[in-house]
Amino acid sequence: MDKSYLSAENVSYAYPAREDEESFEVLHGVDLGIKKGEFVALLGHNGSGKSTLAKHFNALLLPAGGKVYVDGLDTMDESLKLEIRRRVGLVLQNPDNQLVASVVEEDVAFGPENLGVPPPEIRRRVDDALRAVGMYDYRLNAPYKLSGGQKQRVAIAGIIAMQPDCIVLDEPTAMLDPRGRTEVLDTIHSLNRGKGITIVLITHYMDEAVGADRVVVMDDGRILTQGTPREVFSQVRLLKAHQLDVPQATELVWRLRREGFDLPECALDTAECVAALEKLLPRPQKI
Amino acid sequence: MLSDITLGQYLPGRSLIHRMDPRVKLALTFAFIVFLFVASNFQGLALMVALMLVVLCLSGVPVSQYFKSLKAILFIVLFTAALNLFYGSGRRVWGWKFMQITDGGIGNAIFISVRIVCLILFSSVLTFTTSPTQLTDAMERIMKPLQVLHVKVHEIAMMMTIALRFVPTLLEETDRIMSAQKARGADMESGGLRQRVKSLIPVLIPLFVSSFRRAYDLAMAMECRCYHGGEGRTRMKQLHMTGLDAAAVAVAAVFCAGVVLCAALFPASLH
């Protein structure tokens, strides 16, 4: 494997013991490398350790065993913490709880202000970041008047204003309606393509993972399988064995195939599914 | 019902008062309040009232807004006026058994009422023409020298900013929890005061729990955005003092000097 931008080497982590509970190990020796500019989807159901792993990438959590490197910087080094957090931004699930200021543009300015960027430069970055997520027209609004998807885009702008190399998004669409989900996903994809920002998208919606360069599936604190979406989602049997879903289109084609229909091995989205079924069905007679 | 609460009482505008530096506004408001109490006779008070009328006109805020803020304190004004009416000395104007009203008492009642009204109107001008963000910003910068005394100025300002940010969010949440409890048959409208206060408990507990969860999330989000206290922090919006502010300070100084002069020249009006 060539040089990775983010790399986890044999990472294990246990949440510290509480009163009447034993300490709870959630990551058992995870190895993962993510290249610069890559779009990686991290899948897994609740409790699979995907959020815990995400928090290791910007030194919010430190590995109990193993090492995590960001652009070659060791997250265990306390003095590098700010450097690491500037490079890797983390967007959380609840859009309401991550906005600090009562005006959109002031919230976006929060990150660069913390970094001690000179005021005219902050102004420029804030405007750029808001344009990049398509929220420039709302810059003077109060966050509580925005929709969920808009709030989440403002949160993303707040991260972009720090000019990170990589954005990790921890289930950013879990609390949004379908329209908000599309807004956020489109934003993420355009940032990846337009600005070359490395994206790690954590999700349990399989359909969101289809657009990624690489899909990593986690289960019970380990990496279950990884590869291109096509490689991963063609392993329907393996995923099902671990109570994981596949995209709806993939599921339909897989079931029909199991019943003996002559279909390609894997269909990732609706268009592919339709194309596959079209070949199978007789053309309707013109009346 | 809860959702249309406006934050603070800020009324956006472009008037002279709106355009002043919030630090200057804050400092001058404080000075006016002090000088309202320095003024000890009607001559001095008249100067303050005149200044207040000028500021009110310049603020460009509709008069009805000012009446609204006065309505809120009407009771206090009447109450203190009534008390002062009976507790003065001087020539007896009216009396019944042990109660009496003197000309001194009438003077006191008028004097104190005018003082309270001025007090409220001056502070209203500040809150009407300055956005909450500007206000916290100004406070942070004015209190900066206190850092020498180990006052956590930046932290206090940050707390105010966050509190302001979460007021509408928590109001919304309260609304939602109340609906949820009503849907389960909670009765919040009937019963005596005791009963009603008691019925708020099932609203307050979930609200507290969720606030703590929010606080935890927010702290994490702030850490993700490299927050590490006020040290080495810059601000996007710089505050600039202009000629306007200098003029305002000059005018205020003239009036305040006048008040001091009045206090020296004329006898005190309070008995």
Domain ranges of chain A: 6-246
Asked if A158 lies within 8 A of B214 by C-beta distance, the reply is: no
* Candidate from A92, A94, A103 with C-beta closest to B133: A103
Question: pLDDT of B66-125, one tens digit each?
Answer: 888 888 889 999 999 988 888 777 777 777 777 788 888 888 899 999 999 999 999 889
CATH class assigned to A6-246: alpha beta
User: Which residues 6+ apart lie within 8 Å of A117 measured at CB?
Assistant: A125, B234
Paired with A67 in beta bridges are: A9
* Candidate from A100, A112, A122 with C-beta closest to B222: A100
Q: Going by DSSP bridges, is the β-strand pair A39-43/A198-203 parallel, antiparallel, or unpaired?
A: parallel
Asked if A162 lies within 8 A of B237 by C-beta distance, the reply is: no
For tokens 């709302």, the residue is: A138
State the first-to-last Cα distance of chain B, in angstroms, to the nearest integer: 48
* Candidate from B162, B221, B236 with C-beta closest to A119: B236
Question: pLDDT of A187-201, one tens digit each?
Answer: 999 999 999 999 999
Q: Residue type at A269?
A: D
Helix, strand, coil percent values for chain A (each to nearest 5) = 40, 20, 35
Residues A127, A66: Cα–Cα separation, whole Å: 40
Asked if B161 lies within 8 A of A100 by C-beta distance, the reply is: yes
Tokens read off for A217: 């599936």
The enclosing H or E element of A212 equals: none
Of A182, A183, A175, A178, nearest in space to A157 by CA: A183
The answer to whether A253 and A264 are in contact (CB under 8 A) is: yes
A 10 A CB-CB count for B10 gives 17
Residues A287, A275: Cα–Cα separation, whole Å: 24
Q: What is the pTM of this model?
A: 0.81
How would residue A42 be classed by pLDDT, with cut points 50, 70 and 90? Answer: very high
How would residue A55 be classed by pLDDT, with cut points 50, 70 and 90? Answer: very high
Q: What are phi and psi of A162, to 5 degrees?
A: -85, 0
Tokens read off for B198: 């008691």
Provide the shortest C-alpha distance from residue A164 to chain B (in Å). 11
Q: What are phi and psi of A224, to 5 degrees?
A: -80, -50
Chain B partners within 8 Å of A109 (Cβ): 235-236
Asked if B214 lies within 8 A of A96 by C-beta distance, the reply is: yes
Provide the shortest C-alpha distance from residue B108 to chain A (in Å). 44
State the first-to-last Cα distance of chain A, in angstroms, to the nearest integer: 59
Q: How many Cβ pairs closer than 8 A exist between chain A and B?
A: 99
The answer to whether A95 and A108 are in contact (CB under 8 A) is: no
* Candidate from A102, A115, A126 with C-beta closest to B226: A115
Question: pLDDT of B151-199, one tens digit each?
Answer: 888 888 899 888 888 888 888 899 999 999 989 988 877 778 888 888 8
